[in-house]
């Protein structure tokens, strides 16, 4: 049992999911993956492709964890909008639940917009570049921040600041308008009701996009926004979360993040990090692991700044995913929020 626990703790959640899917067989694994989003499919698929020499002990440990996890759950499926709204509102509060409810209830039947999440950012940019800037802003707000950031980078330079500013000041989208846009996108891709607005866009959304863009492009874009609207530009900058801000994450959060980040990516990402953040990372590892990481960083040959930035962004993607799921808090002092 002790060995199985060690095996289990050394694997990331994505790797455990990959092992479980590999054990199910092609048909069952495909059935599960049909219910996953684009990012999840990519992450789990990559893990499945890289896993090798899976021992019986590893398989037993992962399957055992899965059985334990679902043991307290029922198979009861409740398809009730009212039930979903009440549960989420009670759990998150009205303000936080609003955006989540919109995503679930308005987005579950989305076809055109949802298809965009499976597309290459360059292809998305080609599809929407001739649309009105407000339409482009809505589309980017619907995408995940990293995908939206890359899509924005492929759009005309002169239009980027205007689009980002529209994202930042967007307060919501009427469901009817969102559904109409969804139908338009579906028609383009195929070739052929309440007054409450859907929660999309906003300062944080604009900041998230900038966080995922290349450094010089991000700086140039925020300067352009400041020129157009200094107050909005400052608000966006205040909301941006960069790699070195991870120093404000509590120790438990850092430990959770380290379980999900590969050693190669971590080694590269820390190359340009502040000393305080490096020491915090080392302090949340075992003594042996910290020594090995230090040695790897010292022995590593020079690398391009762009490669380091790419590694840092990959760590931030994982950090935001863990933050969205409530596993860590990116604001620091979040230990009380974890259960």
Among 83, 199, 150, 173, smallest CA distance to 317 is for: 150
Q: Is 173 helix (H, G, I), strand (E, B) or coil?
A: strand
Cα–Cα distances in Å, from 9 out to 23, 238, 265? 19, 36, 19
Model pLDDT, residue 104: 52
The single residue listed with the structure tokens 């955006």 is 99
Question: What DSSP string runs through 222-249?
Answer: HHHHHHH-HHHHHHHHHH---GGGGGGS
Q: Do 129 and 205 have their domain in common?
A: yes
Poorest-pLDDT segment among 49-63, 95-109, 132-146: 95-109
Domain contains 85? no
Higher pLDDT: 148 or 37? It is 148
Give the number of other Cβ atoms within 10 Å of residue 42's Cβ. Answer: 12
Exposure string (b/e) for 72-84, b if CB count within 10 Å is 16 or more? eeeeeeeeeeeeb
- 47-52 average pLDDT score: 76
Question: Are 184 and 129 within one domain?
Answer: yes
Question: How much of the chain, in percent, has pLDDT values that exceed 90?
Answer: 7
22 touches 48 (CB < 8 A): yes
Please, which pLDDT band fits residue 65 given cuts at 50, 70 and 90? confident
Using pLDDT thresholds of 50, 70 and 90, give the confidence band for residue 334.
Answer: very low
Which of 55-64, 236-245, 256-265 holds the top average pLDDT? Answer: 256-265
Specify if 82 maps to a domain. Answer: no
Choose between 10 and 288: higher pLDDT.
Answer: 288
Query: In this structure, how many other beta carbons lie within 10 angstroms of the beta carbon of residue 120?
Result: 12
Residue 174 lies in a domain: yes
Rounded to whole angstroms, the Cα distance separating 81 from 282 reads: 46
Is residue 117 situated within a structural domain? yes
- 123 and 195 housed in the same domain: yes
Residue-wise pLDDT tens digits, 110-133: 567 777 877 888 888 888 888 888
Indicate if 228 and 249 belong to the same structural domain.
no
User: Does residue 95 lie in a domain region?
Assistant: no
Select the more confidently predicted residue: 25 or 260: 260
Looking at the structure, tell me whether residues 38 and 148 fall in a common domain: no
Task: Point out the least confidently predicted range of 60-74, 198-212, 309-323.
Answer: 60-74
* DSSP string of 137-152, one letter each residue: HHHHHHS-HHHHHHHH
Residue 192: both structure tokens together = 């052929």
Residue 212 has pLDDT above 80, yes or no: no
Task: Assess whether 121 and 210 both reside in one domain.
Answer: yes
Which residues constitute the domain of residue 326?
A: 243-337
pLDDT at 68: 66
Average pLDDT, the chain: 76
Q: In this predicted structure, what is the pLDDT of residue 254?
A: 92
What does the pLDDT read at residue 281? 93
The answer as to whether 10 is a domain residue is yes
Phi, psi values for residue 304, rounded to 5°: -70, 145
The predicted structure's pLDDT at residue 146: 85
Last residue of a domain, one of 239, 260, 288: 239
User: Which among 239, 266, 299 is the end of a domain?
Assistant: 239
CATH number for the domain spanning 281: value is 1.10.220.30
Write down which residue in 239, 270, 288 finishes a domain: 239
229 and 126 belong to one structural domain:
yes
Q: Is residue 227 part of a domain?
A: yes
Residue 61 has pLDDT above 80, yes or no: no
Residue 109 has pLDDT above 60, yes or no: no
Residue with tokens 């509060």: 93
Whether residues 216 and 292 share a domain: the answer is: no
| pLDDT confidence bin for 43, thresholds 50/70/90 | confident
Q: How many domains does the chain have?
A: 3
Phi, psi of 59, deg, nearest 5: -60, -45
Residues 119 and 159 grouped into a single domain: yes
The verdict on 113 and 213 lying in the same domain is yes
d(CA 177, CA 166): 16
Question: What number is the average pLDDT over the span 65-88?
Answer: 57
Helix or strand holding residue 121 (H, E)? helix 121-128
Mean pLDDT of 136-140: 89
Tell me the pLDDT band of 284, cut-offs 50, 70 and 90. very high
User: Tokens representing 142?
Assistant: 């619907």
Range of weakest confidence among 75-89, 123-137, 274-288: 75-89
Exposed/middle/buried for residue 296 (C-beta within 10 Å: 0-12, 13-18, 19+):
middle
- Angle between helices 275-283 and 251-260 in degrees, nearest 10: 80
Same domain? For 118 and 216 the reply is: yes
**248 lies in the same domain as 322:** yes
Over the stretch 169-200, which tens digit does the pLDDT of each residue have?
Answer: 887 777 777 777 777 777 777 654 333 445 56
Hey, is 172 helix, strand or coil?
A: coil
Residue 35 in domain: yes
pLDDT at 9: 57
Does the structure show a pLDDT above 70 at 250?
A: yes
User: Quick one: three-class SS letters along 61-119?
Assistant: HHHHHHHHHHHCCCCCCCCCHHHHHHHHHHHHCHHHHHHHHHHHHHHCCCCHHHHHCCC
Instruction: Write down the pLDDT at residue 48.
Output: 78
**DSSP-derived 3-state class of residue 214:** coil
């Amino acid at each position: 049992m002790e060995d199985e626990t060690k095996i289990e703790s050394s694997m990331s959640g994505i790797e455990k999911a990959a092992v479980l899917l590999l054990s199910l067989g092609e048909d069952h694994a495909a059935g599960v993956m049909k219910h996953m989003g684009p990012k999840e499919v990519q992450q789990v698929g990559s893990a499945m492709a890289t896993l090798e020499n899976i021992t019986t002990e590893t398989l037993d440990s992962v399957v055992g964890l899965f059985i334990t996890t679902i043991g307290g759950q029922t198979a009861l499926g409740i398809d009730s909008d009212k039930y979903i709204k009440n549960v989420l509102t009670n759990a998150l509060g009205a303000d936080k639940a609003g955006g989540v409810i919109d995503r679930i209830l308005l987005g579950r039947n989305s076809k055109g917009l949802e298809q965009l999440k499976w597309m290459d950012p360059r292809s998305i940019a080609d599809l929407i570049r001739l649309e009105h800037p407000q339409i482009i802003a809505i589309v980017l707000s619907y995408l995940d921040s990293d995908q939206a950031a890359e899509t924005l980078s492929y759009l005309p330079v002169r239009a980027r600041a205007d689009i980002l500013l529209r994202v930042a000041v967007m307060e919501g989208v009427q469901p009817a308008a969102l559904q109409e846009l969804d139908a338009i996108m579906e028609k383009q891709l195929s070739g052929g009701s309440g007054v409450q607005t859907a929660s999309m866009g906003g300062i944080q959304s604009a900041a998230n996009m900038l966080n995922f863009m290349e450094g010089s492009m991000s700086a140039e874009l925020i300067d352009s926004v400041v020129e157009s609207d200094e107050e909005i530009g400052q608000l966006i900058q205040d909301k941006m979360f960069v790699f070195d801000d991870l120093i404000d994450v509590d120790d438990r959060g850092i430990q959770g993040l380290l379980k999900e980040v590969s050693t190669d990516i971590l080694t590269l990402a820390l190359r340009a990090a502040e000393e305080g953040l490096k020491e915090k990372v080392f302090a949340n590892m075992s003594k042996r692991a910290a020594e090995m990481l230090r040695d790897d960083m010292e022995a590593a040959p020079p690398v391009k700044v762009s490669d380091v930035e790419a590694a840092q962004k990959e760590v931030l993607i994982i950090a935001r995913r863990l933050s969205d799921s409530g596993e860590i808090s990116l604001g620091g002092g979040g230990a009380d929020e974890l259960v």
